[in-house]
Chain A
C-alpha cells in the first residue's frame, strides 16, 4: 500500500514540477476488467497569439529575456493579442465493483485536482511597454485600452458516479480557491511628448484580487460531467462521442480587494527655480498615483470558475482499424479563449502501442500541431501528448497514467 501511495505522490510531484495534465481522446475499455481504476493526469499548456514561448519559458524556468526574443515576439503582435496558461493535475478513482443506487451499471467515482488557469487579452503597446519601457514611445501614445487579465487557482475534491458500460460519469465537486485575480482596463494610455518633457497617464479600469492570508481564499461548488454516446457506423462498428463539462460552477471569495481607477496622472518637467529654491526634488512621487484616484473596497465576491466544455469524436481502442480519425472542439468560460477546433489521426502501431497526430485552431493561439503516444500494458496505461509541438508561441505537455487493479 505504501508503494502505491509513494507512486501517487511521486507522480504528483512530477506533475506539479512540470505542471502537466491530459487530453482525453480515447474510448478506453481495456482497463474495465478490474474493479478499481486509478488515473493521474497532468497538463501544462501555455499558448499565445504573439508572445514567444522562449519568453514564457523564461518566466517559468527563469533566465534572461534578450532583445532578439523581445523583437521576434513584438513583431508577431497585432493590435489585440491573447495569452493563456492552463496548468492542472487531477487524480480520479473509479470503482466498478460497487453498485450505486442499487444499479449494477453505476460505479463510484472520486476525484481530486489542482487547477490554475490564467488568461490575458492585451494590446501590442502593453507588451512593448512592459518589455521595452516607454522610451520607444517618445512622441507617441501607448494605448492599453481593452486589456483584460484573469487568473484563478483552486483545488477540488469530488464524488460522483459512472456508467460502467458507457464510461459516462458525473461528479459534484467541492472547490477551495487559492488565489483569484481579475481586471479590465476600460480606457488607458500613456502619452509621451515628443520632447520628453511631459508624460500623461490615463487609467480607467477596475480589478479585484483575493486578499486573505489563509490558504483557501474562498469555497464553492462545481460539477464535472463526462457524457459518452455512440452512433452506429456499420454493422460491426460504432462511432464514440464524448461531451465533457469540467469545473462548471462558482466559488465565493470572502475578502476580495476591488480596485477602481479613473483619472489622469501627469508628470511634467521641473523649472530652474524648482531646483534653485526647493529644498529637495523627487520627494513626493505619491502625487502621481494620487492623480489616478484609486478606490479600494474590500468585500466578498462571486467567482466564476473557468469551466471547460469539450465535444470529441473518440478513438475506439477496440476498433480493428489501424487508422482512426478524431475531431472535436473545446471551449472555456473565459473571454480570452477562442473556441478551439481540433482533429487528428490515430495510428495503432501495435496492440499495446498507439500514436497520433492532430491539428487545432483557436484557444489562446491559432494553428497548432500536436502528437501523442499511448502505451497499454495489462494493468497499466501511459499516455504522453503534446497539443503544440512546433509553435513558437506556446508549448503543451499532457501526461496521463492509469492503472487498474
Chain B
C-alpha cells in the first residue's frame, strides 16, 4: 500500500478551504411584490340612511322626502271585549206529576251585562266570534232546548238555536255542548225596558231566552222543584267590525326612538343646514273626537349632547275632529302640526347631528268626556294615524365633520409571520367622488389596551366632486383621486401588537356655502394592498 504524501497534504488544504467556505453560507434572500384586494364598494345615501326616502327624480339635487308612521291603530286596537260567560237556570216552582211528550214548559227572557269597563256599547257588528253553549237536562226524558238571543240579528233574523239533549236525572243531569258562530251578527246591546220595548239609554246588555220541550216521542215523566234546567253560554273571541256607543276617555301614548347609526361615529366638526321643516300629521278615521299632544322631540349626538325641539306646539294638546260620513262615505279628518324655524329651533335641533331621536306623543279619546251624546262610532275601515313627514332639499355645509370607525384586526399567526417579513406595505386607494364633499383619511393603530401605537395621518385628500369634471352620461360632477397610504417598517414590525385600527374620515365642503347633494351621488372606492416581501430560505 502506498499513499503519496504531498498530494494528501494538498488535498487536506482543499478540504479545509471547502469546509470553511461551507460554514459561511448565508440565507438566500429576494424581494417579491404582491397585491391583494382590500375594499371595493360604492357609498351612496341609500347605504348610509336607509330610513329615508330620497327623491332623486324631481330635481338634479336630492330631496329628502321622509315619511314615518308613528301610530296606526284600528277598531281592534280600541276595544278588546273580554270573553264573557253568562248562565241561565230554571227550576219549576211546583212539581208536575207527569209531563207528557212534546210539552213546552219554560220560556223566559233574561238580560246579561257584558263587562267592558268605562265603555258603553250600544251596538256592535261582529266580524268573528262564537258562543260555546253547555246545557244540562235533569229529567228522565230527552228534550229539545231552544235558545234565543233577542237583539242579536243577522239578515233580519234573530239568533235562535235548538238542539237535542238526552234524558238525565236530578242527580246526574245529561249534558250537551253546542257552538253558535256569531260572524256577521249585529248585537243590539241596549236591552229592554220594563215595557218590553228597546231601552234607549241601555248599553252593554245581552238578552237570552230559553224554552224546553220534552221529546215528543219520549215518555211522560215527572218534574220536581229540585230539578234545575241550566244553560251556560261562553261568548269568546269576539272581534268587532262596527261599534257604536261611548268609548270612554282612552289614552294612547308612546315615545318612539329611531337611530341614524352613522351619526354616532362623528367625533368632531359640525354641519350647517338650510331650513328643514317637519310636519306631524294626524288623521282620524273614527267618529270620535281626539286630542293629540306632542310631548317630546329630542335627539342625542355622539358626544351625549341632547337637544330638544322647543316650540309652542310641543306640549300643547291639539284637537282632532271626528271623521264624517258613514261606511262607504266615511271621510277621515286630518290635522297637521308644522314645525320649522318660524315656530321652533328646528335647524339647531338637526345640526346637533343626533344619532338617537325620541318622539313622544299622547292621544286622548273623547277629551270632553261623554258630552258627545254617547254616539262614538267606529267602522271597519276606521284608523287613527300619526305620521312624521318632512321634505327638503338635501344640502349641508360640513366643517371638519369627522367620522370614526374602529376595526379589530384578528390576524392569524401565519399572517403576522408573513407581515413581519414585509418590507413595505402600501394601501392604494382609487376614489371616484361625486359628492361636493372632500374627505381626508387618517389611521390609528391601537394595542390591546387601546393605546395608540402608531398614527398615519399624512394622507392625501379624496377631493370634492367640484374639483372634477361633468360626466354628461351620469349628469354628475366627478373627481377621481388616487391616494397611497404607506405603512412604515415601524408599523409593520408591530403588527403582532396591533389589535384595532381606527379609521377616521374628515369631511369638508367649501366654507360658507350650503352644498346641495346631487341626485344619485356616490363615492366609489377601490383599494388594494401592495406588499414588498423579503423572502428567505435557510
Binding site for B on A (CB under 8 A): 3-4, 7, 10-11, 13-14, 17-18, 58-59, 61-67, 70, 130-136, 138, 192-193, 195-199, 267-276, 278-286, 377-380, 382, 403, 405
Q: How far is the CB of A283 from chain B (nearest CB, A)?
A: 4
Measured CB to CB, the nearest residue on chain B to A375 is B7
**B26 on the interface (CB 8 Å rule)?**
yes
**B144 on the interface (CB 8 Å rule)?**
no
Q: Are A283 and B26 in contact (CB under 8 A)?
A: no
Q: Are B47 and A59 in contact (CB under 8 A)?
A: no
Looking at B8-16, B93-101, B292-300, B326-334, the stretch in contact with chain A turns out to be: B8-16
Q: Are B407 and A133 in contact (CB under 8 A)?
A: no
Q: Hey, what's the 0/1 contact readout for B1-31 against A, CB within 8 Å counting as 1?
A: 1111001100110110011011011111111
Q: Are A133 and B533 in contact (CB under 8 A)?
A: yes
B30-49 interface with A by 8 A CB criterion: 30-41, 43, 47
- B22: A residues at CB distance < 8 A: 17-18
Q: Are B29 and A64 in contact (CB under 8 A)?
A: yes
Query: Cα distance A149–B19 when bound, in Å?
Result: 30
Partner of A197, one of B19, B27, B526, B533: B526
- A4: B residues at CB distance < 8 A: 1, 3
Measured CB to CB, the nearest residue on chain A to B416 is A282
Q: Are A269 and B38 in contact (CB under 8 A)?
A: yes
Q: Which of B7, B21, B43 has the most CB of A within 10 A?
A: B7
Query: Cα distance A268–B409 when bound, in Å?
Result: 18
- A70: B residues at CB distance < 8 A: 30
Query: Cα distance A93–B445 when bound, in Å?
Result: 68
- A130: B residues at CB distance < 8 A: 32
Majority secondary structure of chain A interface residues (helix, strand, loop or mixed): mixed
State the 4 A-B residue pairs at the shortest beta-carbon distance, nearest first.
A133-B32, A62-B26, A280-B410, A269-B40
Q: Are B18 and A272 in contact (CB under 8 A)?
A: no
Q: Are A58 and B28 in contact (CB under 8 A)?
A: yes
Measured CB to CB, the nearest residue on chain B to A9 is B15
Query: Cα distance A279–B501 when bound, in Å?
Result: 11
**B492 on the interface (CB 8 Å rule)?**
no
**B530 on the interface (CB 8 Å rule)?**
yes
Q: Are B18 and A267 in contact (CB under 8 A)?
A: no
Q: Are B29 and A377 in contact (CB under 8 A)?
A: no
**B119 on the interface (CB 8 Å rule)?**
no
Q: Are B39 and A64 in contact (CB under 8 A)?
A: no
Q: Are A270 and B39 in contact (CB under 8 A)?
A: yes
Extra inter-chain contacts (18) besides given A278-B407, A280-B410, CB under 8 Å:
A4-B1, A14-B14, A62-B25, A63-B26, A138-B35, A192-B35, A195-B430, A196-B35, A196-B526, A197-B526, A198-B37, A269-B526, A272-B43, A275-B503, A282-B409, A282-B411, A283-B411, A380-B4
Q: Hey, what's the 0/1 contact readout for B338-366 against A, CB within 8 Å counting as 1?
A: 00000000000000000000000000000
- A378: B residues at CB distance < 8 A: 2
Q: Which of B27, B30, B47, B527 has the most CB of A within 10 A?
A: B30
Q: Are B11 and A377 in contact (CB under 8 A)?
A: no
Q: Are A197 and B40 in contact (CB under 8 A)?
A: yes
Q: What bracket does the count of chain B residues touching chain A fall in?
A: 35 or more
Measured CB to CB, the nearest residue on chain B to A382 is B7
Query: Cα distance A377–B2 when bound, in Å?
Result: 12
21 A-B pairs (CB sep. < 8 Å): A10-B11, A13-B18, A14-B14, A59-B28, A61-B21, A61-B25, A62-B27, A65-B28, A66-B30, A70-B30, A133-B33, A134-B35, A135-B530, A138-B35, A192-B35, A196-B428, A269-B527, A270-B41, A272-B43, A280-B409, A379-B4
Measured CB to CB, the nearest residue on chain B to A13 is B15
Measured CB to CB, the nearest residue on chain A to B10 is A382
- Given A14-B14, A58-B28, A377-B4, answer yes or no on A267-B35 (Cβ-Cβ < 8 Å): no
Q: Are A271 and B35 in contact (CB under 8 A)?
A: no
Measured CB to CB, the nearest residue on chain B to A274 is B39
- B38: A residues at CB distance < 8 A: 269-270
B149-195 interface with A by 8 A CB criterion: none
- Given A280-B409, A283-B412, A403-B3, answer yes or no on A195-B29 (Cβ-Cβ < 8 Å): no
Q: Are B18 and A14 in contact (CB under 8 A)?
A: yes
Q: Are B29 and A3 in contact (CB under 8 A)?
A: no
Partner of B36, one of A3, A199, A280: A199
Q: How far is the CB of B445 from chain A (nearest CB, A)?
A: 14
- B530: A residues at CB distance < 8 A: 135
Partner of A64, one of B12, B14, B30, B36: B30
**B414 on the interface (CB 8 Å rule)?**
yes
- B26: A residues at CB distance < 8 A: 61-63
Q: Hey, what's the 0/1 contact readout for B419-450 against A, CB within 8 Å counting as 1?
A: 00000000010100000000000000000000
Q: How far is the CB of A72 from chain B (nearest CB, A)?
A: 14
- B415: A residues at CB distance < 8 A: 282, 285
Q: How far is the CB of A1 from chain B (nearest CB, A)?
A: 8
**B408 on the interface (CB 8 Å rule)?**
yes
Partner of A7, one of B11, B47, B503, B528: B11
Query: Cα distance A62–B4 when bound, in Å?
Result: 36
Q: Are B28 and A10 in contact (CB under 8 A)?
A: no
Q: Are B528 and A197 in contact (CB under 8 A)?
A: yes
**B113 on the interface (CB 8 Å rule)?**
no
Q: Are B33 and A136 in contact (CB under 8 A)?
A: yes
Q: Are A65 and B29 in contact (CB under 8 A)?
A: yes
- Given A14-B18, A275-B405, answer yes or no on A59-B410 (Cβ-Cβ < 8 Å): no
- A268: B residues at CB distance < 8 A: 37, 40
**B537 on the interface (CB 8 Å rule)?**
yes
- Given A11-B11, A58-B28, A62-B27, answer yes or no on A272-B35 (Cβ-Cβ < 8 Å): no
Measured CB to CB, the nearest residue on chain B to A379 is B2
Measured CB to CB, the nearest residue on chain A to B528 is A196
**B525 on the interface (CB 8 Å rule)?**
yes
- Given A13-B15, A58-B28, A196-B37, answer yes or no on A281-B409 (Cβ-Cβ < 8 Å): yes
- A14: B residues at CB distance < 8 A: 11, 14-15, 18
Q: Hey, what's the 0/1 contact readout for B508-533 against A, CB within 8 Å counting as 1?
A: 00000000000000000111101101
- B503: A residues at CB distance < 8 A: 275
Query: Cα distance A286–B41 when bound, in Å?
Result: 24
- A278: B residues at CB distance < 8 A: 407-408
